[in-house]
């Protein structure tokens, strides 16, 4: 049956958060706090990230603010420059598609309407989509500030799609799975080992009208769609 497949981008189609994790590891080593453990430093960073927003630029600002709060010495300009380089390395990293993505999109394209649905900084996400080389597979690409129940209702209305035959495919329970199910859509959960910590949440399928499918890899969509 021809259906609408809404597909997440970061850590569903291509690697993303692994580069942030590498930057965080380097940042914590650079800070080299004498009293706080890496876990405690990370907790401060997580809290700051909640208010800064998405994207590499906001992430870099979060690193800078964390350094301001936790540095145990007078901060020199060259130290700030080093922290900015951590973020710049993320922004300029080449797009690395996950295994089986192109082959699976080749399979899905003639069978379903594919829509790329991602959130974050608009210009940064646009650049990622352009650099990915897979934009042509999608009927349209939608970039939103947040993926919540209202967002999914709006997308369904814009697409003139039937929620019963629409699936949200992604790796993040908080943004991709739970709000889509709550909005009456179906969802395909494809866990990624490096999913952003702030996207972690228990998958809540009980009491929802939509179906939930959990797969171990993007390529497995070929078996079900």
* pLDDT category of residue 176 using cuts at 50, 70 and 90: very high
In a shared domain, residues 110 and 156: yes
Domain boundary among 91, 126, 147: 91
In a shared domain, residues 41 and 115: no
In a shared domain, residues 80 and 128: no
pTM of the model: 0.91
Inter-residue contact 183 to 6 (CB < 8 Å): no
With a cut of 70, say whether residue 16 has pLDDT above it: yes
Domain boundary among 49, 65, 91: 91
Give the pLDDT score at 87. Answer: 86
Structural domain including 117 reads 4-14+96-224
In a shared domain, residues 63 and 144: no
- The size of the chain, in residues, is 225
In a shared domain, residues 66 and 138: no
In a shared domain, residues 168 and 207: yes
Gap between the Cα atoms of 168 and 170, Å rounded: 7
With a cut of 70, say whether residue 207 has pLDDT above it: no
In a shared domain, residues 26 and 71: yes
Q: Which of 169, 171, 172 is nearest to 210 (CA)?
A: 169
DSSP the chain: ---EEEE--BTTTB--HHHHHHHHHHHHHHH--SSS-HHHHHHHHHHHHHHH-SSHHHHHHHHHHHHHHH-SSPPPHHHHHHHHHHHHHHHTSPP-BPTTHHHHHHHHTTTSEEEEEEES-HHHHHHHHHHHT-GGG-SEEEEES--SHHHHHHHHHHHT--GGGEEEEES-IIIIIHHHHHTT-EEEE---TT--GGG------TT-SS-EEE-SSGGGHHHH-
How many domains, the chain?
2
In a shared domain, residues 73 and 143: no
Domain boundary among 91, 113, 135: 91
With a cut of 90, say whether residue 204 has pLDDT above it: no
In a shared domain, residues 83 and 108: no
In a shared domain, residues 102 and 50: no
State pLDDT tens for residues 54-102.
888 899 999 999 999 999 999 999 999 999 999 888 988 999 999 999 9
Can you give the CATH number for the domain in which 21 is found? Answer: 1.10.150.240
Can you give the CATH number for the domain in which 121 is found? Answer: 3.40.50.1000
In a shared domain, residues 110 and 76: no
- Mean of pLDDT values over 31-47: 96
Give the pLDDT score at 160. Answer: 95
In a shared domain, residues 173 and 124: yes
């Amino acid at each position: 049956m021809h259906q609408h497949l809404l597909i997440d981008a970061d850590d569903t189609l291509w690697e993303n958060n692994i580069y942030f994790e590498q930057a965080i590891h380097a940042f914590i080593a650079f800070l080299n706090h004498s009293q706080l453990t890496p876990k405690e430093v990370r907790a401060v960073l997580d809290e700051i990230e909640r208010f800064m927003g998405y994207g590499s630029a906001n992430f870099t600002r979060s690193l800078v603010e964390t350094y301001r709060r936790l540095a145990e010495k007078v901060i020199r300009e060259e130290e700030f420059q080093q922290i900015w380089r951590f973020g710049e390395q993320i922004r300029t990293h080449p797009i690395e598609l996950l295994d089986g993505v192109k082959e699976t999109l080749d399979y899905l394209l003639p069978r379903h309407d594919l829509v790329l649905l991602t959130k974050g900084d608009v210009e940064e996400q646009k650049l990622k989509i352009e650099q990915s080389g897979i934009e042509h597979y999608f009927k349209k690409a939608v970039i939103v500030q947040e993926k919540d129940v209202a967002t999914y209702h709006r997308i369904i209305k814009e697409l003139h799609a039937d929620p019963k035959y629409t699936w949200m495919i992604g790796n993040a329970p908080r943004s991709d799975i739970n709000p889509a199910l709550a909005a009456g859509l179906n969802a395909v959960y494809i866990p990624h080992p490096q999913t952003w910590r702030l996207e972690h949440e228990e998958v809540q399928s009980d009491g929802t009208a939509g179906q939930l499918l959990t797969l171990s890899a993007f390529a497995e969509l070929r078996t079900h769609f």
